[in-house]
Structure 1
């Protein structure tokens, strides 16, 4: 008889404390250029005067009627680094737009005279405002007022196209008379007043008409910019910039969506008598964002809750291409063949389809419509939600991707499509589970990759929008290594020969310290056969049986593999977790899928180096049972909470007021750390000192803000844990400066070095993403004794926006302990402590 299911344990944050991060290594300020302050001031003043003269000399008809502001570029001196936060001024309505890749700071200013910068120049050149300091070793240093702002400045001027252009636009010498698609970032966005977006839209539309460019203006709304896609010549683009006051950045739009490679359908027996029982009305749903769905398919129709489209460009939700229907079959069934043999099934969850394209390369997926993809993806998501008014847990799955390795997008970078996925996941702080396939290896590389599988697979990089930090990015492994016992395959060989190795179809993660671990996990995605010099992707034993859109023509079944199969299976898993644990937040479901993943023996053997293994396999293959329940030897605790960017607290003023009637306190923004004490009673320790495993996963959805080739997050988090030989005080002092003792000089004393557990991944690598998982194995004696886990804030762009400084973000912490007797020992403590209210 099967064991009774043990539900996940639900914990609560144990305590909250004010927090200050320790200074990281290499945090010394950049060296200031050596220069004559007065000469430097004179030079920059002349440039500011030139800006004023340029604006005065501009013909009244030269710019749009709404263009009243100026876009200014502050360029760094050679080998210098500007301090962007020192160059704007709220009181003067001078807004920091962002920093271009080569270091130029872009400002959006209300007045061309830039009086606030002139004041900083005067202060910098004033010898009366020089401060001299002598260090303990006798070194004398001098610091001028406003030095960080002014000293690194090389030049200041009205921004020209070269200042605002992205890396591709700078690299390509475009002919002036040939039109290209451009992506233009302008003043606006959903975090700014709607008048900003409306003003930019009006200016761009009006000036395009003036230039003779008649096209529908497609746009995508980010948090602090509105992006427009226009097809113009480089000369027209420069004229558009000169005639408006709203353009912040411009870049060549990337290449169109590549054709998806699908397989021939195969015939199956008639399904006319198949009975599919509908799920419960409150059951979760999987939303397939693809080519639509065959709404009359007997294996699907009773489970289809809604079928919609991304917009009026797509005439019908019906699938005429096939990919979406194949995705739907794998998203609904764990084993389609078993359901057919039984002749009936109970749908475990609902299906929703939102048709995103008709066919690769056609209609919305055609070359000229690439710019619509961020907006279409957003509209497809909202269309599915609006079609079903019930508050429901939904897993959205997107297996339509595009390579970032073919010209003209030869390089890996954030794109508006990946930002759209990140924004959809953030969902104004409420969270939305977006599952994206990592993308398939380019089919023209299959034979080459097969020669040195799996190591050469590392050269095939994930597709957009799978680089989105908030997405659950799914790559592919395979356990299918057997060819049919058929003479047609006598000369064939499989590429992946070891069960549990990565699939020859999968693409792999991004190298470099700025990228999160991607893919997050890998699921079954099938295998490739080679016959002589021909690749064969249609071998039945190497693919998954699924539903086909050709059911009306007597061909109800099809084959599917690759990362499309893997992502559909991930969506099925997410819905399964929600069926068993319906109160979980989307962050927690994503966290549990990653938390439950493990590397197979083949993965450990094929990729002995951790970095290569993470790029190829992510955290490994998820385990459904581990992701959704406890067991007698496994205790899994889920903590769901929120983290504020800062909390405003009243604190005594440094100098007490002279008058009794004057307020003695002032508001200060303080960071918080949240602590969870993992209950590990001493009773778990026995003479045998058994082996144990510890897993910790933090999951959250950050608000993205793209500028140039980087995506910034409103707030990031990271976690750390008290080590086996570390006291509570030592741990708190290690992670939080405010917990350190004060020395005789009044400064915080750096504590004796202590450390956490010897984790598999380590804090540096795991902290790069918005799902951060790690594992440790050792002896029970090292683990027992209640251990603290800290979640701490890592400040982002929210902190630079006054209205957002107290914004909160949801997070989920998942902790599992594997070992004899852990569930029985931990469960009572977790349940008792979850009832205690913590003051925040």
Structure 2
């Protein structure tokens, strides 16, 4: 597309300032023990009984028993556990997992205590009885008072998910998560494999590696899993292995071969560095519409026995959308078509049936590696519309598969090479709507695995079509209206608020039809695309979050084509930043227009809305995108390190001249986290993200000095309580909604004259495991970020763009005073 006013990439706008975070007073929700002596004696007795029982079990065991002991600590009802105090690395005592029982309102933590360290917690109880702190409290008060019960950890202590999913007599594939100490990975692996061998447990050699955790796939029944707990010193958790959903049946072809010839005659294939890599069922590269943009070198598979071509059809359907976007409209016109990107395919599913159980995170990592080896140094968009609904996490917490996507995108294991990835949200099926009406079922059907990924963009679907022409559907009508959430689209409404907003964006996913009782897919309300058996029929249809994910990938390549070499974090930010909710979405989900209800429901159902490629790829006179690509070192050992302050070249005089005309300020911050998965509560030092970043904008009538004081304790000098003054901006979503995940976007509408003060943006860090787990040596790592800020006015005759361009050539570095 012709771009008249390119996005403005700012340089030299930043000042790095030493940073100290605002202290957050967090209440300790521990019970008060009226009779502390009795309680401590009870805990000590329970610990002694556990150790005695463990010795008895070892003596009676017919298998080699582990050296240490697994203990499960439980909290009181509706109280917390002192999680941080349950681990002591120097003593070899390790926190393995933390689970919250929502039904019983109890927190349970499983802890490994090595042989010879049994006295550790007993001595804590003894000190509670005999010693006091300077504040007059019993020593170890938080730890001992928070513990309600102690028992030997059983299989259920390690099982993540519903207990009814634990394999019974028949062996089933499960994930086993094991801990390891830095530098001693092989010791943990050898111990696990040795135990599996002695118990006749089948183990797959593929594995995933995360900080202090390794994930393997094993095939075992309940008895074997229990015995594995008994003999292996490194178990942290078990999970049911995921398997992908089945794909769609082929629908009848609806177009003619002549249409393809006509389209090819008016299509220009232009060389660029942009690529879409489809991780799917393969692609039929001989299809006339696909052949010009893919070659044998760009086609791979994770299992050579499968072949590289598409036996099922889903990958080729994805390819048609990923290449041509709206193929129906493209065929219907006589306009010249320009294809500016190429296609890659890595087959990750077998020709028939489904995979034998595999560790899908490992398969995904392998697939991306194959594509990069074949075509290095390209602007690659990874597109995957394969999800697993079964054994999903109901609260939005990470899985091994979603965490592997975060590994891939952040480059955690590969020299920090960042990658842009799109994954589908997963589909609601027509039979589900028969039980729970639309859109209630979409709220109940949560985003499918691996859509929990923090770094990958999870794509949902909306409706763009209502017209049904086929006679076979004459007694049916569309389920949803144009601009509403697609009946296929899943959401994150039921997730815990601490997990990311998913989907981030929604794009065309078609519509369902109903006669009031039955629900069905509909060819007329689906998207036209390419068919893998093109000699029989060249076209097919696709719908749901698969088509939406392919469209999102197409959009990303258009951005890469216009701005070669920009960061994946920036492309991701531009798509989110350009997104808007439709009027029908707002009416559907935001009936109560408040941050805590309607806006939150809208955000968790439809993400940030529908991306606008025009807004993402270029500016207008009255709408300007300022882009900063920066790098920040959030921590130094045990401390915060720095924040960034950016000065923005807004045309003050122009905004002042608009006076009380309403304008919109929008900010989007995008960065990739390195994952730290494992069911360990995700608080204290066991946080999932390596670090977090946040943004803040100077308030109206707020001085720069006051802004610095408000954001940064370091700037307050001796008076740490002086947080400055200024009128707060009325952000539409607010920090409670936007400050989750690793992309944060919000906007506020204000008088144009008030926005001329919005010329400073702060980027500052929040705690992550890079700092909290300093022994892993990551506290001095840097994190890249992309920041997009825009002001948009309704007055199309206004020119904000030209004076900004003029300012940039004479811009100066931010001047600031640092109080140390």
Class of the TM-score when normalised by the shorter of the 2 chains: 0.7 to 0.9
Report the equivalent of 2:578: 596
Where do 1:162-241 residues align within 5 Å?
A: 162-169=156-163, 172=164, 177-188=169-180, 193=182, 195-196=184-185, 198-214=186-202, 216-241=204-229
Residue 613 of structure 2, aligned match among 603, 608, 624: 624
TM superposition shift of 1:78: 5.7
Query: Aligned pair 1:585/2:567, yes or no?
Result: yes
Q: Which residue of 2 aligns with 1:353?
A: 345
222-231 or 812-821: which moved more?
222-231
For residue 753 of structure 2, the aligned residue among 781, 784, 792 is 781
Q: 2:277 aligns with which of 265, 287, 291?
A: 287
Q: Which of 786-795 and 289-298 deviates more?
A: 786-795
TM-score w.r.t. the length of structure 1 is 0.85
Aligned residues: 784
Residues 396 and 499 of structure 2 are in contact (CA less than 8 Å); yes or no, is this contact kept in structure 1? no
C-alpha contact (below 8 Å) 2:274/2:557 kept by paired residues: yes
Q: Which residue of 1 is the match for residue 364 of structure 2?
A: 377
Give a deviation string over 1:246-281, Cα, whole Å, max 9, x none: 11112333566344455333342244684665542x
After the TM superposition, which of the residue ranges 331-340 and 718-727 deviates more from structure 2? 331-340
Per the alignment, residue 800 of structure 2 pairs with: 822
Aligned residue for 2:713? 737
State how far apart, in whole Å, the 2-side matches of 1:385 and 1:839 are: 46
Shift in alpha-carbon separation, 1:174–1:528, aligned structure 2, 3 A: closer
Distance change in 2, residues 1:460/1:125 (3 Å): closer
**Partner residue, 2:14:** 14
Deviations 1:434-483 (A, max 9, x none): 1011122122134566xx65566433332222222222111111221222
Q: Is residue 544 from structure 1 mapped to residue 527 from structure 2 by the alignment?
A: yes
1:263 pairs with one of 251, 264, 269: 251
* 1:354-379 per-position Cα deviation (integer Å, ceiling 9, x unaligned): 111136x8141xxx52x432222222
SS state at 2:94 partner: strand
Q: Hey, what does 1:654 align to over in structure 2?
A: none
Task: Report the Cα distance in structure 2 between the residues aligned to 1:556 and 1:343, rounded to whole angstroms.
Answer: 21
Give the structure 1 partner of residue 133 of structure 2: 130
Match of 1:431 among 418, 422, 439: 418
1:303-331 deviations in whole A, cap 9, x for unaligned? 11544444227521100111101111111
Equivalence for 2:593:
none
Q: Partner residue of 1:139?
A: none
1:151 match: secondary structure? helix
Deviations 1:119-141 (A, max 9, x none): 544543334x4323xxxxxxxxx
8 Å contact kept, 1:295–1:318: yes
Distance 1:810 1:209 in 2: 44
The 8 Å contact of residues 634 and 816 in structure 1, kept in 2 or not, is answered as yes
Cα distance change on mapping 1:489 and 1:106 into 2, 3 Å: closer
**Relative to structure 1, is the Cα distance of residues 11 and 443 closer, same or farther in structure 2, using a 3 angstrom cutoff?**
farther
The question of 1:677 aligning with 2:647 is answered yes
SS at match of 2:196: helix
Residue 543 of structure 2 corresponds to residue 561 of structure 1: yes
Q: How far 1:157 moved relative to its partner?
A: 5.7
Range that drifts further, 774-783 or 793-802 = 793-802
Q: Which residue in 2 is equivalent to 1:388?
A: 375
SS of residue matched to 1:33:
coil
Offset at residue 154 of structure 1 (A): 3.9
State the distance in 2 between where 1:828 and 1:303 align: 41
Q: Distance in 2 between matches of 1:19 and 1:119?
A: 39
Structure 2 CA distance, aligned partners of 1:335 and 1:459?
A: 30
Aligned partners of 2:432 and 2:441 also within 8 Å: no
1:334 Cα deviation from its structure 2 partner: 3.0
Question: Which residue of structure 2 aligns with residue 662 of structure 1?
Answer: none
Would you say 1:399 and 2:405 are equivalent positions? no
Contact 2:444-2:493 at 8 Å conserved across structures: no
Does residue 325 (structure 1) correspond to residue 316 (structure 2)? The answer is yes
Q: Secondary structure at the match of 2:480?
A: coil
**Which sections of structure 1, spanning at least 5 residues, go unmatched?**
133-141, 649-667
Q: 1:462 to 1:81 in 2, by over 3 A?
A: closer
Structure 2 residue matching 1:15: 3-state secondary structure = strand
- When residues 532 and 716 of structure 1 are mapped into structure 2, their CA distance, relative to the original with a 3 A threshold, is closer
Task: Indicate if the aligned counterparts of 1:550 and 1:556 stay in contact, CA closer than 8 A.
Answer: yes
The CA deviation at 1:600 is: 1.7
Q: Does the CA-based 8 Å contact 2:274-2:341 persist in structure 1?
A: yes
Match of 2:108 in 1: 104
**Residue 253 (structure 1) aligned with residue 236 (structure 2):** no
* CA distance 1:710–1:812, shift in 2 (3 Å): farther
- Contact 1:55–1:112 (8 Å) recurs in 2: no
Is 1:717 aligned to 2:723, yes or no? no
Decide whether the 8 Å contact of 1:131 with 1:144 is kept in 2: no
Q: Aligned residue for 1:311?
A: 302
Offset at residue 526 of structure 1 (A) = 1.7
Task: State the Cα RMSD in Å.
Answer: 3.4
**Residues 185-238 of structure 1: CA distance to partner in whole angstroms, max 9, x if unpaired?**
1124xxx54642x33333333333322344645533333211222232212211
Structure 2 CA distance for partners of 1:114 and 1:837, relative to 1, 3 Å: farther
